[in-house]
Amino acid sequence: MWKSERTDGALLPRMRSAGYYPPVPDLVIGGRRSGMPRPSWRAGVIAVAMLGVAMVVAWFIYKRSVAYDVPGGSVKGAISSVQAAPGSPPALTFGDSSLTWVGGLPVLRLRGDAHAMGAAHGRLLAPSLAAVVRAALPSIERTVSDDGLLGGTSHGMRLAWRWRFIDDGLNDQDRRMVAGLTRGAAASGVELSFEDLVRTQAVLDVGAASPRTDEAEHKHIARSLTVIAKQAQAPARVWVGRTFALPGLDDGGDAAIPVVTFARPEGRIAWASVGWPGSVGVVTGVNAHGIAVMVGPARTSDVRPTRTARPIGLLVRTVLEQAKTLDEAIKLLEGTPTLGSAVLVVVDGSSGTWVLVERTPSKAITERNPRTPAIGDVLTTNALSSDPENDRARRMLPTPGRIERAAKLVRAPLPDVAAMAQVLRDQRALDESPRPIGHRGVIDDGRATHTMILDPTSLELWVSDPRAGGKLRAFDLRHELRAEGDRPTPPSDLAADPASDPDRIANLTAARADLRLARAALARSKYAEAAEACARARARVAALPEALELAAMIALASGDHAQARASFEAWIDGGPDDPKGEERARALLAR
């Protein structure tokens, strides 16, 4: 043992030489040793704060991405009622624009720049706008599903994101016109959002059919038929016959009353169209140079709402405002990417020639010598007819039968405009056999939102008046678009078909409203409620084919196989008007 416990300079060497090393205390640099580690709550708070900031920033980026920029402008002035002369019809005026009524047809006369024309449209037709927007909203909302755990909760956000590029496809004239429409309606006490009105301009391009309608399975919102017939007395001239329907909207197109518009845009070519309240595009129109364009909306696999492109109706309005010749019209249609797909009939009134332009978001095909004088809802050129969605439509829609029947009726030149009216009123099958009222495979299926006849050479127009049993009201476009003559001198109106039931359209409209209620009840498995609504429809139109088909489906779903069989057989015996439904019905009957 050492005599001293000290480890001073003299003792330490001897201790080490003996193999003993005294303990050395731990050395902590920068502070004292800690007994227990401190909790890292400050790091957690910082992480949560950073996540919150990121979410706030992401939310503002999202809101900015989905917002539509509203062009500036204001709407001033009051609406007044004037009567130009004793005995003349009164007019509702706003600025340089006016609204008159010819029978049951509203007639808009618009003047000015894009914002002024939109404002006058919104101001003068304000009471009719909200119903059209309500009918279109389900077709917009259905483009995004509610499937999934949070599907319903996040639906609005996902819809806004999916439709975020729609306004980018509109040009400045389009946006200003819709902005004017929004402000004009608001000035008349009808509050509609700019966002909803922008989207309704694109609903024919990318919307989905309402689930309450018979078009939900077919995926089509619109149905159209355009017929070109040579005039017997003037072979170089043609008649253009046209029917256009919106059965895929939530109300079956009931709110889309026909509106005749005569527009004189500032610095552009004047044009006329037949459309509906709230539409600033054109699906049926002609300009002062006799260039007419008819749009038949179609479906192809390259259509999607996330594309930045022009809705077809808005493009056609531009064609009418700029094209003086057929070639200029074709160039605009071929050179402008579109949001949706359509088959377009373009007619040159000065020469009586016409072409077919099939337009999709990615392709444009022009057929200068069309194979058939009747054009429907499907693409027919070799380059586009095989598209999967188009092929599906061709097999599932009753369109081919309507086209074949119309082509047969105009095979020979027609003697007068009354003969063309008879073609558009036809309710027979290709083999001349009669069809039940409301049959979807005939030319006049009772669903048209507007029917019209145009002579693009003489610029004479006839439009069906839904409140006058189908009487066709006549208009003088030379005066309306070219200001020729001191006053309009239209040809004679075309009387309603004397052989037709004057209550046919009213009964069909009421019956189809009941069928929409029946489909909604069937979707909720309310079979008794659905059967009752279907029975109400059949009380209006007993042999309505779509009512018989739906009655069979309701009976089948409720387990009443005997009733289902009876309804299916009655439907097929009367002539089925739904190719896909017929295939399904025959398979069920065979079992």
Average pLDDT over residues 302-329: 96
**pLDDT tens digits, 377-434:** 999 998 899 999 999 999 889 999 999 999 999 999 999 999 999 999 999 999 999 9
* Tokens at 524, concatenated: 């909720």
Average pLDDT over residues 187-215: 96
Tell me: domain 505-590, CATH 3.40.190.10, correct? no
**CB atoms near residue 437 (< 10 Å):** 21
> pTM score > 0.85 for this model?
yes
Q: Domain map of the chain by residue range?
A: 505-590
Q: 126-141 vs 172-187: helix axis angle to the nearest 10? A: 120
CA 353 to chain centre: 29
Q: What are phi and psi of 518, to 5 degrees?
A: -65, -45
Whether residue 531 contacts residue 558, with contact meaning beta carbons closer than 8 Å, is answered with yes
> Distance between terminal CA atoms of the chain?
111
If one compares 563 and 32, the residue with the highest pLDDT of the two is 563
Q: Shortest CA distance to 217 belongs to which of 477, 448, 522, 3?
A: 522
Confidence of residue 521 (pLDDT cuts 50, 70, 90): very high
Q: For the ranges 67-76, 148-157, 510-519, which has the lowest average pLDDT?
A: 148-157
What is the distance between the alpha carbons of residues 580 and 587, in angstroms, rounded to a whole number? 11
**CB atoms near residue 376 (< 10 Å):** 26
As beta bridge partners, residue 29 has none
If one compares 260 and 580, the residue with the highest pLDDT of the two is 260
pLDDT at 186: 97
pLDDT at 333: 97
pLDDT at 545: 96
